[in-house]
Amino acid sequence: MTAAMFIQHFLNSLTLGSLYALIAIGYTMVYGILRLINFAHGEIFMLGAYFVFYGLTLVNLPWPVAIVLSILVTAGLGILVDQVAYRPLRDAPRISALISAIGVSFFLQNVAIVFFQAIPREVYRPSWLEDPILISGVRVLPLTLFVPVLSFLLMMGLVYIVYRTKAGLGMRAISRDIETSYLMGVPVNRVIALTFGIGSALAAASGIMWALRYPQLQPIMGVIPGFKAFIAAVFGGIGSIQGAVIGGVALGFIEIMTVAFFPELAGYRDAFAFILLILILLVKPTGLLGAKPEDKV
């Protein structure tokens, strides 16, 4: 493998990894607070992408407006899903909320099939993102630089919210102990709604960039990235934001580099993440940075 090829693979891995990381953050935040695997998160990601490209083509919105609107609408949708499908089940056994989440996931997916049709749609990309540029003799897609940088900025914003604002303090308090948070006057329901909103907004951002990078839209596009991002969150240690980022980037590298070095394994690419999941659950179920959960009797 030449150095130029390696650099291309490296940038591709970083791009894919940061997209996984953005989705994984949503899983890890919700799981940290509610102990719920938000199965519908992959569908939120898919809808975020669809909204932008429908805003662009149907309403002729300019790019920045379409993107901001789509992120806001998707965030609202994430909050709505929580209010309708998860909130009534807060006191129910955990699996009930999980089944509800699976139901929501299928619901959104099929609503997308009804409204957007099942056929894949081509995504139009502006040429300044698409035409390769030469950096000291290496052909690089501008997108593969643009996506990691933008993702990094978004993650910095998130870290600021979680560690420097009052709402973030509330999130961390709830993930420690939800009962006590109520007693200490944390507006628990509002903070949970905010968590869903932020997680969904990041998923939408990831979905939009995903659609630019792999220019195709289809209603099932969220399923596999959703699962993989969840695995990335488990790998990094579920409940930890840093863990989700590390896990996401690591998964991006594992997927692309394995195929780059062992092309004969290309057909198994979608299985890597699941094998990684089973391995990590066996060796270190808490993930790289996760805290050990206690079994309360």
Binding piece for other proteins, criterion CB under 8 A, among 10-18, 45-53, 95-103, 136-144: 95-103
C-alpha to C-alpha distances, 229 to 233, 245, 254, nearest whole angstrom: 6, 10, 13
- Binding residue (CB under 8 A) for other proteins from 4, 5, 65, 99: 99
CA angle 82/88/90 to nearest 5° reads 85
Binding piece for other proteins, criterion CB under 8 A, among 4-12, 70-78, 111-119, 240-248: 111-119
Verify binding: residue 156, other proteins, rule CB under 8 A: no
Binding piece for other proteins, criterion CB under 8 A, among 4-12, 63-71, 100-108, 151-159: 100-108
Contact assessment for residue 245 and residue 24, using Cβ atoms and an 8 Å cutoff: yes
Binding piece for other proteins, criterion CB under 8 A, among 137-145, 208-216, 224-232, 247-255: 224-232
Residue 52 or 280: the one with the smaller Cβ distance to other proteins is: 280
Under DSSP, is residue 290 helix (H, G, I), strand (E, B) or coil?
A: coil
Residue 59 or 278: the one with the smaller Cβ distance to other proteins is: 278
Verify binding: residue 294, other proteins, rule CB under 8 A: no
Residue 161 or 281: the one with the smaller Cβ distance to other proteins is: 281
Pair of tokens at residue 289: 């940075």
Residue 184 or 271: the one with the smaller Cβ distance to other proteins is: 271
Using CB under 8 A as the criterion, which residues of the chain lie in contact with other proteins when the complex forms? 35-37, 85, 88-89, 92, 94-96, 98-100, 102-104, 106-107, 109-114, 117-118, 219, 223, 227, 230-231, 234, 267-268, 270-271, 273-275, 277-278, 281-282, 285, 295, 297
